[in-house]
Structure 1
Amino acid sequence: MNSKIKAFMKNIALTFMVAILMFTTACNKGPEGVVAKVNDAEISQEEFDRDYAAQANNAILMSNNADILEETTDQNPQVTMGQEIRRQVLENLIQMELVKQDAQKKNIKVDENKVTEQINAVKEQIGGEEVFNEQLKTVGMTPEFYENYVRNTVLMNDYYEALLKEFEADDKQLEKYYNDHKDEYFTATASHILVADVDEANKIKKELDKGADFAEMAKEKSLDPSGAQGGDLGTFNNGEMVQPFNDALKVMKKGEISDPVKTDYGYHIIKLTDKKARTFKDLKDELKQTYAQEKVKEYVDKLQKDAKIKRYLDPKDDYKLPEKYQVALPKTAENEKNDKASKEANKNAKTNAKVENKAEEKANNTKAENKADNK
């Protein structure tokens, strides 16, 4: 498959651009052909089928596995991939409908010129309209679907930017925000020892508490490349390290050595050499963005909380992808080899059956002749 189509497929799921407080409600039987209702607007089964097909086909083609939708997810062995995709698609459609309704109230309209420009840019990159349409066809999509996807993305971007502007803070609001969150903004100089096992981390911490040299222990025990420099991480700002590491530094004091801190990398023992508060002047632009993003999240959370949302589709119910959206897996050397072997086996089976039938027919004829002779 063309690499640009692959890139498109990886991003085909329309995700909300702001963190949203998700909640679920019981699924009730609704009007025929309707999967959900958002305030007074209905989301049709056709819309759901179209968007689900995009993501389901993506999963099938990327894994080269026609049965992947029936396999369970890593996060929950009780939920299949198909069920999880259906849940995500339903929620995305609901979120998009909320955005459309609120955007209309704010008089934010889709810029059709942006839509056309983006689609034409993709067509040009991929090799022209004919190639573009053919590639969409191979993944079970239509140009109409892709146009709708781009239109929603353009609206989402413009809506989000409008909200950021709406909640832009003045200097007085920013100073108050800074004073309320001053401890969260710092510059730190630190070292660490990284190990894979919590028991080993606890043993190292005990040795350090007894007076062992931190740098020497890092050189001997740390799995991180910084161990060669005694675990030295240099000087960095808050937020540059993974969240658990950052959270530990936030409450540590200069010269302190932490208990083991678990991250996706393993267990860290952190030594804080120095920590200084970052000034309002240095942080002003960052604070302006953070403040607006938090206010947007609060606004969107309330928007969803206040909305009347009814879900009529249960992602766990049996579901069959409509035939018009189904795609065939591309032929691979292994697939072709298996197909050839299967055809050969079928051919041999038919040949054997013919031989057996002829042998049986001949035997029956011989019996009949013998019986006639005996008479």
Structure 2
Amino acid sequence: MKRKTARFAFAAAVLPLVLTFAGCGSDKVIARIGSEKITRSEFEKRLASVPPSYARYLDSPQGRKQFLDLMVREKLVVSEAKKSGISKTDEYKETVKRYADDARRRIEEMKDTLLMEGFLSKLHGQILNPSEEDVKKYYDENKADFTRPYEMGVAHIVLLDEQTAAETLARLRRGESFEKLAEKISVDPTSSSRGGFLGTVKKGELAPELEIVARKLSVGSVSSVVKTEYGCHIVKKTSEKSLPPVKFEEAKENIRRIMMKTRLDEWVKAAMAKKKVKVNYELAEKAAKISGGITDGATEEVR
């Protein structure tokens, strides 16, 4: 059964890539395979859909002939497969349904992505993109950041609740290794494998709550627990290095990015408050564990 299911899964994955043509109209038929046919428009669409690495080969008559022969062979196999009864088996039907469900989900995700991109573009033109005067004002009001700039290395441990964060902070203060604790218990999958190290950052490249705390730390020191929308953080400054002064013309594009991010964050925060957004992170965590084969009880949904 597993071997059959794997075979159907492979076929369902490959066939959409191989048979990527639309329904035929009344255009000329260039090949017949029993009751099946290949039309000129179908052939042209298939030629247009090949990867760039094969396109050069199809520039020659010989290449196109071999490509058409391949299409004929495919039609022949499909024609015989239709008569074989495979399409009536449970394995086939289940595989087709699974791929159809996945295709529908991907289409909905694509539609949402297009909507978001269009709306953010509109938002960019309305409120996110700062004027030249706004950028200059930011530079003047934060001049020390540009006349005496520096970069700092930052690491963090992220926990989901305040109690665990407080216990972790106590362990750090008793002398346990920040890096080892980050690897073992931090819920940030990207940085935990690097001992919590986020990288070397300049102004505006960290979440504001973390940046404010990190800038006040001395190298090697660890912060108290810092709460953000992502969880409870314990921050460590790993390094600090002075940089050359930055003139306005050199800084303005980076300032623009900082201001746009800040404005977007403010817009999201206001929109979430307006919509009265509620999130049950505990339920989400339990759902993640269950999907991974770890059962851990249940809890109430958000109401």
Fold match by TM threshold 0.5: no
TM bin (shorter chain)? 0.3 to 0.5
Q: TM-score, normalised by structure 1?
A: 0.32
Q: TM-score, normalised by structure 2?
A: 0.39
Larger radius of gyration: 1
